[in-house]
Amino acid sequence: MGHLSPNPSIRQGDSVRRLLLPSRVVWWLLPAAVAVVGCSGPFPQSTLHPASDFGTAIDSLYRTIFWFAVGVFVIVEGLLIVILIRFRARPGGEAKHVHGSTVLEIAWTLAPAVVLVFIAVPTMQTIFDVGGAPPEDALEVEVVGHQWWWEFRYPQLGITTANELHVARGRPVALSMTSADVIHSFWVPKLGGKRDVNPGRNTRIVFTPDSADTYLGQCAEFCGESHANMRFRVVVDEPDVFDQWSRAQAVAPAPVESLGDLARQGAEAFARIRQPGNHSCVACHAIEGVSFGVLGPNLTHVAGRTTLAAGILPNTTEGLTRWLRNPPGEKPGSLMPDIDLSDQEIAALVAYLQGLE
Ligand code: CUA
């Protein structure tokens, strides 16, 4: 045939086969899908393994909407494939031009509206479910976000602690949250949230943890230099363990006189006013029966925590020594300055702080 014959590469059988065979794109997407499946692993900050009623509510909302989305995907892609095959270019065929179809236009306006209703109803329901008033027996905790650490106060128990929030399994927790400086965001992926923590107003989270474990949290709103170092832990204890913990927290630590020599030197160093700049530990930190500073974390029972400096260092001799030697070196922008402590002073302070159980 002459040069006017149809291009042999778009023969009918060929084009159908090309449509149905996986293209190169599919071969690239397959490993990506396998990688995404990896997100369901046992990761400490995965929202896919909720451990509270709040977390479970968010997770089931997510799953509900996911299956709606799967339905929409199958219908849309199915129609697309049918149309591609049915109306593909045929040799000698000519497209039929259509202008305006009231039925179709109403249909494709209504269909997305229906999809939105299916998403909006369970979403609103979940918002109301997790936003209700806390029950009477809830454990109240006032959360204060600071650059860059978390303060936890228990008004019912007379406890103030930092960076490690203890709660009891099965008991509702009512967090009332505010900020001492800029906007932060409280987020423990496995327990639900996240919620902004704003200066000058209170936001609330109510949840009931359902399994005893330690859950990692993280400030989730950019709040300055050490935003990424503003971590925390929620320790969900069995109820009797929580009672023991809260009783121990509510009493003052052992008196200085009962401590060893080195720890006593540490207590003196803690109280000493330093020149120049008047930096001293007591100005910023509270220790029950010793000092009343409120700028930094309360240290009454600091030895009972597992981490230091909002979760960035282990609470060990080495971690404490590193922190005291140069706080801004460990946590850029830290409000706690490097106050030029001597090695002897650091060793004494470590001994003292480790006695505060
Ligand atoms: Cu606090 Cu980011």
pLDDT band at 6 (very low <50, low <70, confident <90, very high): very low
- Indicate the pairing of strand 313-314 with strand 307-308: antiparallel
Cβ atoms within 10 Å of 81's Cβ, excluding its own:
12
User: Which among 1-10, 44-53, 155-164, 262-271 has the top mean pLDDT?
Assistant: 155-164
11 has a pLDDT exceeding 80: no
Whether the CB of 341 sits within 6 Å of ligand 1: no
Rg (CA), the chain: 30
Q: What angle do CA 334, 340, 344 make, to 5 degrees?
A: 120
Q: Which atom of ligand 1 is nearest to the CA of 228?
A: 2
Q: By C-alpha distance, which of 141, 197, 138 is closest to 165? A: 141
Least confident of 24-33, 60-69, 175-184, 235-244: 24-33
DSSP string, 93-129: --PPP----HHHHHHHHHHHHHHHHHHHHHHHHHHHH
Mean pLDDT over each residue of the chain, to the nearest integer: 86
What pLDDT is stored for residue 231 in this prediction? 94
Q: Quick check: 130 and 204 in contact, CB under 8 A?
A: no
What pLDDT is stored for residue 96 in this prediction? 78
Give the sign of the dihedral formed by CA 312, CA 316, CA 318, CA 324. positive
Whether the CB of 145 sits within 6 Å of ligand 1: yes
Q: Which helix (H) or strand (E) holds 215?
A: strand 213-218
Whether the CB of 231 sits within 6 Å of ligand 1: no
What pLDDT is stored for residue 264 in this prediction? 85
Convert the pLDDT of each residue in 211-239 to its tens digit: 999 999 999 999 999 999 999 999 999 99
Torsion of CA 339, 345, 346, 347, to 10 degrees: 180
* Residue 356 burial (10 A CB sphere; 0-12, 13-18, 19+): buried
Q: What is the mean pLDDT of residues 243-265?
A: 86
What pLDDT is stored for residue 72 in this prediction? 92
Q: How far is CA 295 from CA 90, 147, 151, 200, in A?
A: 77, 10, 10, 17
d(CA 289, CA 276): 27
Whether the CB of 194 sits within 6 Å of ligand 1: no
Q: Which atom of ligand 1 is nearest to the CA of 183?
A: 1
Q: Which atom of ligand 1 is nearest to the CA of 227?
A: 2
Whether the CB of 177 sits within 6 Å of ligand 1: no
Q: How far is the CA of 31 from the centre of ligand 1 (A)?
A: 35
Higher-confidence residue of 25 and 55: namely: 55
Convert the pLDDT of each residue in 287-299 to its tens digit: 887 888 888 898 8
Convert the pLDDT of each residue in 261-307 to its tens digit: 888 888 888 887 666 566 788 888 888 878 888 888 988 888 888 89
What pLDDT is stored for residue 8 in this prediction? 47
DSSP string, 249-306: HHSPPPPGGGS-HHHHHHHHHHHPPPTTTT--HHHH-EETTTEE--SS---TTGGG-S
Q: Which atom of ligand 1 is nearest to the CA of 224?
A: 2
Which residue type, as a one-letter code, is found at position 68?
F
What pLDDT is stored for residue 79 in this prediction? 93
DSSP string, 298-345: --TTGGG-SEETTTTEESSHHHHHHHHH-HHHHSTT-SS------HHH
**% of the chain residues with pLDDT over 90:** 45
Convert the pLDDT of each residue in 333-353 to its tens digit: 988 888 888 888 888 888 888
d(CA 256, CA 131): 46
Q: By C-alpha distance, which of 213, 195, 215 is closest to 205? A: 195
Whether the CB of 356 sits within 6 Å of ligand 1: no
Whether the CB of 217 sits within 6 Å of ligand 1: no
Whether the CB of 230 sits within 6 Å of ligand 1: yes
Q: What is the mean pLDDT of residues 20-43?
A: 74
Q: How far is CA 152 from CA 195, 197, 285, 337, in A?
A: 16, 13, 14, 23
Whether the CB of 223 sits within 6 Å of ligand 1: yes
Nearest CA to ligand 1 atom 1: 184
Tokens of 309: 């400096």
Give the sign of the dihedral formed by CA 230, CA 233, CA 234, CA 239. negative
Buried b (16+ CB within 10 A) or exposed e, 41-61: eeeeeebeebbbbbbbbbbeb
Q: How far is the CA of 42 from the centre of ligand 1 (A)?
A: 25
pLDDT band at 4 (very low <50, low <70, confident <90, very high): very low
Q: What is the mean pLDDT of residues 14-39?
A: 71
Domains, the chain, with CATH or none: 139-249 (2.60.40.420), 256-353 (2.60.40.420)
Q: What is the mean pLDDT of residues 242-268?
A: 86
